[in-house]
Structure 1
């Protein structure tokens, strides 16, 4: 039977994307793992891989199409041994499922795999599912094969629910090597109602025309996402702001010494690299601030992953330094340089910018003395870094000139009490002013 290629969900928050470029054309033969298209999300351009073998019989969405909803059929593949022209002529699926149909399965994971098809409507339908084994070849998606290899699962014992009986990731849930399942569990005869979608944040209306010369520019997907998420953050998370002034002289001195020793390795630490480390260590010392608010649960993280705001053409993105507290500053510097370059080229993978337990945004290099940043949900805090500048400052009970910066923490007051936020700011200040603790 013809296999539908659907617009994949390349990230958990993706609702639509732009089909930037087709890498195949109608009549091309493709195999599992071949690249089919380039898809632009709100953050990056991703490559879409085939998980089935066959012939591209029909391309339904032309390249360059914008705002293509996740789950939209974008092309059709004629399966092995099928007539491509017959597959092309096949009628499009009905727009709405009948009463006894199961609701469509959720979109595929950010790995780039196609969305998982709906499970059979009944136990009887499950019994009639096509087997996963075709001759000597087990039909399974690349992700399912990798999971099976890691868990030691025998795929020949699994009945797939994907197209043509292909085994997909969901078929392996709950299956272990010691007790393989003979078949996927039969779902209920009717699907449970889908949970109600959360109301979308209010959006601005049309801009009045006051007769001023102007030009309207269509918003990019990235700009729409930034607007939606920041509006959501300010509406839902009660922000509390705490500011400290931090003397930088000791950190700048240490940076110069470290850079002299790292020069032969081609590593040059920035102040921001050292502040990323300082924030991560501070979060480890004040774990009450390394959290996320989840309505009826509080998620407490055992590792500090720092999202770092990077300005790119068209918006802002936050690549992540994972386990920043456990990495050396030279490692943080190397990773940050690589991530920033990929961000500017639009080549970040979802796992490189999704997640994080807290954020840091540095506008000091642009001369901004102090600012407050909007929390990046579902995180509960962000550190805003201002410029280091020469200021009159009391040093050892005497007025002196010192290099000082202002840092402002924004905290989600639902998750973090003011006293805990203040303790984090105090800890961060102490680490920056006594930076040898960052290399210990």
Structure 2
């Protein structure tokens, strides 16, 4: 057999079991070199671009975009031009994989024509309904015209369409994973800016609309409109979209049904048609599914208890202001100080710096504080880790948190940068949240929920003074951390925050 090589779903991290093929960055027949980015794969935590493991030519795409496959499954085949398609199919069969079937063209529907006279021959003449021809042309408004830069995050099809139409994708808002721009986003942007997109219009015969028979599964429509169209026998290609973002809504389906005389006569005359409330169905992404599974298991298996404490921030804020004003290259945030203070407190109370090994019913106590920092993404939540935070300076922690957050938001985190950790900090203070409870990130034993710092009246001795106070809530797994132990940790945390110079020595 000729030299044929498989491109497989990689294993990025110990917990990875499957991957979703998001998009191919090359096409069948394209040559590639080792290390070239060839495919985008989404896991339960990150979206990464797969580097080619060798030089070759992509002869066959097996994993189609939108398909979820287990680790090690074949998603593509590389072979030279002398390799026949039969040899590739034989190779796939040996690997237990199959190439994606070609989508069959929709079968034309025969429509009998009425006989011209009562004495006409019984054999009916057949007229084939033609597919509606595109009408109009795409007109791109001047605000979208330009040249797309190479660093724009868009699908290969979107890049080709932008190049063909002369569109600068910097002016287009992406709605895909992590803000990725799709062809639909380009069309929506053209319509929103006052332009037009070429569409297919139904043909007419004898003054009545000719009902389309083409597959309408890809026509943008609301879920309710799609169900209504199915129940009334309306093809979505026959509907004029007037809904948001160019989608077909229920009213559009009813208009098309009236034109085609598909509605019951009484309902058409009185307009008494039951209308379901509009809503969108948003399927779980792999990341959202993983979050749901892990946190549900945490709530069900880990007996949570919570301890709340107030931290006085005035000394910390003064030190932060002094450092930021005297060291131009450093811009510390309050969260950087909290991460450092937690790491210092974990070293003072090491029995909180733990993971619970459920399989062996044992506690793993760590010598170094690996603090996870919760980062919100459009598709969910991820917790990149500041390794050895107890040994790092505030400047080092600040730079690492910024770098990890940027990687998280662009889907570039490596598995070792978000898997593990001994403690988590979740901060919602920037949203004005005063206090909240957080769910423990297993197998860790505790998580700190951080609220906003605010001016409060505080009794000091026999007088009242104004202090900047932050409320924090420690959620603990009672299987490994008891109340007194959690309270001891919070007391140490209060000490480091009230006297931040202790974190510098």
Aligned to 1:215: 280
* Paired residue secondary structure (2:468): strand
Q: How far apart are 1:365 and its partner, in Å?
A: 1.3
SS of residue in 2 equivalent to 1:298: strand
Counterpart check, 1:331 vs 2:427: no
TM-score, with structure 2 as normaliser: 0.60
Please name the residue that 1:87 is paired with. Answer: 87
Distance in 2 (alpha carbons) for counterparts of 1:21 and 1:375: 34
Q: Distance in 2 between matches of 1:54 and 1:95?
A: 22
Q: Deviations over 1:312-369 (max 9, x none)?
A: 2122111211111111111111121222222222222222222211100111111111
* Residue 23 of structure 1, aligned match among 12, 25, 30: 25
- Residue 60 of structure 2 aligns with which residue? 58
The structure with more radius of gyration: 2
Number of residue pairs matched?
323
| 1:211 CA drift (Å) | 5.5
Counterparts of 1:22-421 in structure 2, within 5 Å, are 22-30=24-32, 32-62=34-64, 64-78=65-79, 83=83, 85-90=85-90, 91-93=92-94, 212-263=277-328, 265=329, 267-295=330-358, 296=360, 297-421=362-486
Please list every run of 5 or more consecutive structure 1 residues that lacks an aligned counterpart in the other structure: 97-209
Equivalent residue of 2:376, what SS? strand
CA shift for structure 1 position 285: 1.1
Q: Which has the higher contact order (CA 8 A, sep 6+)?
A: 1
**Residue 13 of structure 1 is aligned with which of 12, 15, 38?**
15
Q: Which runs of 4+ in 1 moved over 6 A?
A: none
Deviation string, structure 1 residues 365-400 (Cα, Å, up to 9, x no partner): 111111110011111111001111122212244322
RMSD between aligned residues: 2.4
Q: Give the whole-Å Cα distance in 1 for the aligned partners of 2:496 and 2:366.
A: 21
Q: Secondary structure at the match of 1:432?
A: helix
- SS in structure 1 of the partner of residue 405 of structure 2: helix
Q: Which runs of 5+ in 2 are unaligned?
A: 98-274
Deviation of the 1:306 alpha carbon: 0.9
CA–CA distance in structure 2, aligned partners of residues 89 and 228 of structure 1: 38
Cα distance in 1 for partners of 2:463, 2:378 equals: 46
Instruction: Provide closer, same or farther for how the CA distance between residues 415 and 29 of structure 1 changes in structure 2, counting only shifts above 3 A.
Output: same
Q: 1:58 to 1:214 in 2, by over 3 A?
A: closer
Distance 1:93 1:238 in 2: 49
1:432 match: 497
Q: CA deviation at 1:247?
A: 1.1
Is this contact kept in 2: 1:55–1:84, CA < 8 A? Answer: no
User: How does the TM-score come out when normalised to structure 1?
Assistant: 0.68
Q: Distance in 2 between matches of 1:243 and 1:344?
A: 30
Give the Cα–Cα distance (whole angstroms) in 1 for the partners of residues 349 and 478 of structure 2: 16
